[in-house]
Structure 1
Amino acid sequence: MVAPTRVLIADANPVVRAGLTALLNEAPDIAVAATASDGREALQLTRLHAPDVILLDVRMPGVDGISALPHLVQLAPVLMLTYSQEMEVVRETLLLGAGGYLIHGEFTPDQLVAAVLDVRAGRAHLSPTAASAVLTALRTSSHPQRTVAQSMEHHRLNRPQFGLSSREEEVMDLIASGMSNQQIAASCFISEKTVKNHINRIFAKLRSATRSEAIARWLGTARPGVAGHG
């Protein structure tokens, strides 16, 4: 009888961990060996249980998935399983050695089981949004000397110049995408206090008092003469 594929689940959300555990344990050829709430615990439990595959979230408190990934891939194949859809995150995790990238909401239970078995066998497995991000990254890199940051700058060429730093522009793009301060902090790997400091400077430069005003000016949809930010 073939031994089941043993899986370690690393996710900060206990509800997600419990759901994935129940789902995978129903598969006849998979068994959940352990669960972890952050990257540090994932590394400890991987050394202890020696799983065949690790399911790893990107954003976790303490040691996040991206920080833990280079260490974990030396011990077992890693399948990213996360809500993070950003092209740079998908690209970075794959470059760091992840064998696949699944985004919550884009797979069925059977597809998750197939992805786990694929990654164990060395076959890449990407959900649709992750695959699109990879294609976009490949197309971007095909342009000489064009980095992701330069690609973002390319899309801003017709935008009014507000004197924002590159980091402030990155934060403003995330604000415009609808992210909260907490989500921006996680995406940029900075503290929420630092995010707030960036936002204060951004609002001053954009002469905006609210997020909606700042977004309107940033996207060029606001009329001149927006009230200033104190």
Structure 2
Amino acid sequence: MACVSRPLRVLIVDDDALVRTGLAMMLDGAEGIAVVGEAADGEEAVALAGTHFPDVVLMDLRMPGVDGVAATRRLRGTPRPPEVVVLTTFDSDDDILRALRAGASGYLLKDTPPPRIAEAVRRAADGEPVLSPRVARRLMDRVAVHAESRRRARTALAALSPREYEVALAVARGLSNAEIAAELLLSVATVKAHVSTVLAKLALDNRTQLALLAHDAGLE
């Protein structure tokens, strides 16, 4: 957390000089915030952070050379890691998740109003996560979709008998009928019968679909 007795030190990282200039002018005019440096790529950002020790880094995502994700990961691994808030035009699920997994504490889009960017800097310095509303909705939608897929898959598998369930999980693990028979102490003919019944009950066409269903249920 940043010391409250001095302005928050901010490093701006963007490969567009006009964007850097605009952000610097806006943030330098915000109460309690001081821009201590500007970098055009991730490599320069890491170097400047080691000199200026910013509290918060506003990080562009896609830049030549070392991109924002790699730079974020490197910054968060330093002895005095700054908070990193991604500020980008890209809001794909992959971009968002890569940045957050690398250690970013915030993800804002460049259409975010200037006062909200300044507020995000303050919140990030206080250890609070900050997300653009659109980004937050995408993450919630992703979680909801995955949760619903898991619920449906588990509901479907719950219709199986205990023995059918064991066979289904064995199929999902990639075992052959002979291997399943040996593991569950059944005949191969009995295993084949169980597999056929499982596929019919679940309205599936093949073993691959069964494996995918188990994956969706989080059981493979």
3-state DSSP of counterpart to 2:27: helix
Please give the TM-score of this superposition, normalised by the length of structure 2.
Answer: 0.63
- Which residue in 1 is equivalent to 2:91? 85
- Which residue in 2 is equivalent to 1:71? 74
Tell me how far apart the structure 2 counterparts of residues 65 and 141 of structure 1 sit (CA, whole Å).
27
- Which residue in 1 is equivalent to 2:121? 116
Shift of 1:141: 3.4
Amino acid at match of 1:132: R
- Which residue in 2 is equivalent to 1:47? 50
Amino acid at match of 1:43: V
Find runs of 4+ consecutive structure 1 residues off by over 4 angstroms: none
Tell me how far apart the structure 2 counterparts of residues 14 and 110 of structure 1 sit (CA, whole Å).
21
User: Structure 1 stretches of 5 or more lacking a match?
Assistant: 145-230
- Which residue in 1 is equivalent to 2:184? none
3-state DSSP of counterpart to 1:102: strand
- Which residue in 2 is equivalent to 1:97? 103
3-state DSSP of counterpart to 1:78: strand
Question: Which structure would you say has the larger Rg?
Answer: 2
- Which residue in 2 is equivalent to 1:188? none
Superposed CA offset, 1:170-229 (max 9, x none):
xxxxxxxxxxxxxxxxxxxxxxxxxxxxxxxxxxxxxxxxxxxxxxxxxxxxxxxxxxxx
3-state DSSP of counterpart to 1:63: coil
Amino acid at match of 1:117: R
State the identity %. Answer: 37
1:62 paired to 2:65: yes
Tell me how far apart the structure 2 counterparts of residues 18 and 140 of structure 1 sit (CA, whole Å).
40
- Which residue in 2 is equivalent to 1:226? none
Amino acid at match of 1:94: L
- Which residue in 2 is equivalent to 1:197? none
Shift of 1:132: 1.5
Specify which structure has the higher proportion of helix: 2
Tell me how far apart the structure 2 counterparts of residues 133 and 72 of structure 1 sit (CA, whole Å).
26
- Which residue in 1 is equivalent to 2:134? 129
Shift of 1:136: 2.3
1:10 paired to 2:13: yes
Shift of 1:91: 1.6
Shift of 1:92: 1.6
Match 2:40 to one of 33, 37, 42: 37
Shift of 1:25: 0.2
Contact 1:91–1:133 (Cα < 8 Å) also in 2: no
Superposed CA offset, 1:102-137 (max 9, x none):
0011x2221111100001111011111211121122
Amino acid at match of 1:66: V
Shift of 1:28: 2.1
Tell me how far apart the structure 1 counterparts of residues 20 and 130 of structure 2 sit (CA, whole Å).
20
In the TM superposition, 1:198-209 aligns within 5 A as: none
3-state DSSP of counterpart to 2:58: strand
In the alignment of these two chains, the number of paired residues is 145
- Which residue in 1 is equivalent to 2:30? 27
Shift of 1:49: 0.6
3-state DSSP of counterpart to 2:141: helix
Shift of 1:9: 0.5
Please give the TM-score of this superposition, normalised by the length of structure 1.
Answer: 0.60
Tell me how far apart the structure 2 counterparts of residues 98 and 72 of structure 1 sit (CA, whole Å).
10
User: Structure 2 stretches of 5 or more lacking a match?
Assistant: 151-220
Amino acid at match of 2:93: M
